[in-house]
Amino acid sequence: MADEVRYDQRGRIALITLNRPEYANAQNSAMTYALDAAFTRAVNDDQVAVLVLAGAGKHFCAGHDIGTPERDVDKSFDRQAVLWWDHVGRAGADARYAREMEVYLGMCRRWREIPKPAIAMVHGACIAGGLMLAWVCDLIVASDDATFKDPVIDFGICGVEFFNHPWELGIRKAKEFLFTADEITAQEAAAHGMVNRVVPRADLEAAVLTLAEKIAAKPAFALKATKQALNHVQDVQGRRNAQMHVFSLHHLLHAHNELVYGMPMDPNGLPEAVRDKVLARVARAREAASKKAAE
């Protein structure tokens, strides 16, 4: 397991912590696969009854990594997820579609179906791809300073890949959340049913571990069956099919942005520091492609 994720066992609870605090736990590829490994370890350990997902540092998760030096989208490292499609070295939409199906939509679907209860322990900011990590958990307990936001419409995209907004917030609040890209507080998220409990920041870990211990005392097979029953209700309501439709729209917008801006996102919505780095990377990639074509 890579250093990007910490794994600790507290009795019958596996505490899994996103560990890139210097980047607000933005998800690079190493973190994504390390997280999959951590979940697999917890599932396969009969001594673990409940999983808790947390974030180190000031924030739970700032979303997908789109600009740090350690982003490593295409670096080679241990990839053991069962959904793996080999996207490395492929061209165009083939590479992006395969990668995002694997590490975003596919892994989130896989994690949602972990046969043990999972609790997201959210503090600080939970943005875009961070929402996806919280949403795959069965319960969300947030600190009173936590905020939630999906700003990707500003980048020319129709929401994160694991599109669960209507099931988390209700259809009208989901529209407002996406159309405005405004953040919402933990209290507002709780009012719309996305968050189970809001507690003072200082009490967050104790509150989550107490809740996890209470659930861990229940019969394991009954917990598994109950989780499957509730997840199935959402699926027969059309959640899974709707997600696949939105995933296709998501990639249509990536392709549109490539045609218009030469990159998968509309750069006009990016923060200035990130925009400059991303545009520089795009320029280098174009230059490398031109040199290769001329050879």
How far apart CA 36 and CA 42 sit, in angstroms, is: 10
- Token reading at 32: 């994504």
Q: What pLDDT was estimated at residue 98?
A: 85
Q: What is the pLDDT of residues 190-215, one digit of tens each?
A: 999 999 999 999 999 999 999 999 99
How far apart CA 137 and CA 134 sit, in angstroms, is: 6
In 3D space, the residue among 222, 200, 63, 208 whose CA is nearest the CA of residue 145 turns out to be 200
3-class secondary-structure state, position 52: strand
How far apart CA 218 and CA 23 sit, in angstroms, is: 37
How far apart CA 126 and CA 261 sit, in angstroms, is: 28
End-to-end CA distance of the chain: 40
Residue 282 pLDDT level (bands cut at 50, 70, 90)? confident
Residue 2 pLDDT level (bands cut at 50, 70, 90)? low
Residue 79 pLDDT level (bands cut at 50, 70, 90)? low
Strand order in the sheet with 13-18: 5-10, 13-18, 50-55, 118-122, 139-143, 197-199
Q: What is the pLDDT of residues 150-167, one digit of tens each?
A: 999 999 999 999 999 999
3-class secondary-structure state, position 103: helix
Size of the chain, expressed as the number of residues it contains? 295
Report whether 5 contacts 31 (CB < 8 A).
Answer: yes
Q: Which fold has domain 5-294?
A: 2-enoyl-CoA Hydratase; Chain A, domain 1 (3.90.226)
How far apart CA 216 and CA 145 sit, in angstroms, is: 27
Report whether 50 contacts 212 (CB < 8 A).
Answer: yes
DSSP tag of 104: I
Q: What is the pLDDT of residues 84-137, one digit of tens each?
A: 666 667 778 888 888 888 889 999 999 999 999 999 999 999 999 999 999 999
